[in-house]
Each structure stands twice: as structure tokens, then as C-alpha cells.
Amino acid sequence: MPQNFRSCDREQSFLLPPDPREWLPEEHFAWFVIDTVAVMNLDPFYGAYRADGHGRAAYEPSVLVALLLYCWSRGVRSSRRIERACVEDVACRVIAAHQQPDHATIARFVERHERALAGLFGEVLWLCADAGLASVGVLAVDGTKVAASANRDRTMDYEQIAREIVERQIQTDRAETAEHGERRGDELPE
């Protein structure tokens, strides 16, 4: 008796074009990020662009903010990796509306809106608390002494943490640009 395998025909095309939104389950985190960004105040981002519509068309700031928040929450803090995710990751493709901003565009957006991005983190945490994804409250610790490498001067609030994340992204992008130049860095050798 012959072996029984599922068919694997990579040449089979779809009868109708697929809708990648159907590939993400309803409870996927990407939908939460999209809905969260939709209710955020993004005026500082929009205010940085020309109101007369002249010049080259820019990416919609809400798309790039959602893409950055999603990727940062997944630990991706490299513009080149975010660019790659817009091609390979279904969630990033849905968030970016099938657009594929290049790494230079993403890096410039982060540098241009560094303060506005850092300011969003407090708002994101409150929205997460409202949705039941995080608990925001007071943490009280008694006076018990334990051996630790904690430093009173290293305690950071949400905005400081956000600034550190944005700064780390900028440093990573600069290091990768120094290494790869204008290339993405994942090209196949000739």
C-alpha cells in the first residue's frame, strides 16, 4: 500500500485573491494594537507634516505608530527587521495595510517623532489597563533588606522607559546603517 501524504502543490494559485485579514484570528494581538491606535491622540504626529499636501506622500502616521508599537511589544527594535516583518509576517502586513516601508523611512520616523513616541507609552499602559491586559496600581514593599543590585537612581517612570526604548531603536538603526549602508542586510549573496 502506498504512503498517504497531503498534497503539496506550490504552483496552485488561488481562485480569488486571499484576504490576509482572515489569516489572523479575531483575538490576535495585532487587532488590539490597531484598535488602540485608532483611539489614541496622534495630533503630535500629524502636526509634524505639511497641511497643504505638497511634497511627496508620506506614510500614514497611524500605520507607522501601530507597526512600531506591535513590533516593539514583540521585542523587534530594528528598522531592518521591521521592514522584513512587513514582508514575511502576516500581522505586520495587516497592520501596515500591505505597504512595505523601508528601513530608512522607519528609522527617520522614529527619530523625527522621538518625543511623541515616548509620550504614547503612558497612554498605551492606561488603555491596556482599561482592557484588562495590565494592572496599574501602587506597589508597596516593606523594609526587608535583601541582597540586590538595585539602585535608587536607576528607578525609571514609563516615559523614561519609553525614551530608552526609542533611543535603543535609534542606536540599533545607526549601527546597522554603519554596517550595511543602504542595503537591508539580509540579501542573498551573488
Task: Single out the residue of 84, 74, 89, 75 nearest to residue 106, CA to CA.
Answer: 84
Q: Is the pLDDT of residue 19 over 80?
A: yes
Exposure of 97 in the CB half-sphere (CA atoms within 13 A): 9
Condensed to tens digits (0 to 9), the pLDDT of residues 34-72 reads 998 998 889 999 888 888 878 888 899 999 999 999 999
Q: What is the mean pLDDT of the chain?
A: 83
Q: How far apart are CA 133 and CA 29, in angstroms?
A: 11
Q: Is the pLDDT of residue 151 over 70?
A: no
20 confidence band (pLDDT: 50, 70, 90): confident
In terms of pLDDT, which residue wins out, 136 or 20? 20
What average pLDDT does range 155-174 have in this prediction? Answer: 82
Q: How far apart are CA 106 and CA 60, in angstroms?
A: 12
Instruction: Give residue 149's pLDDT.
Output: 60
The three cell numbers locating residue 62: 497611524
pTM of the full structure: 0.73
Instruction: Give residue 62's pLDDT.
Output: 94
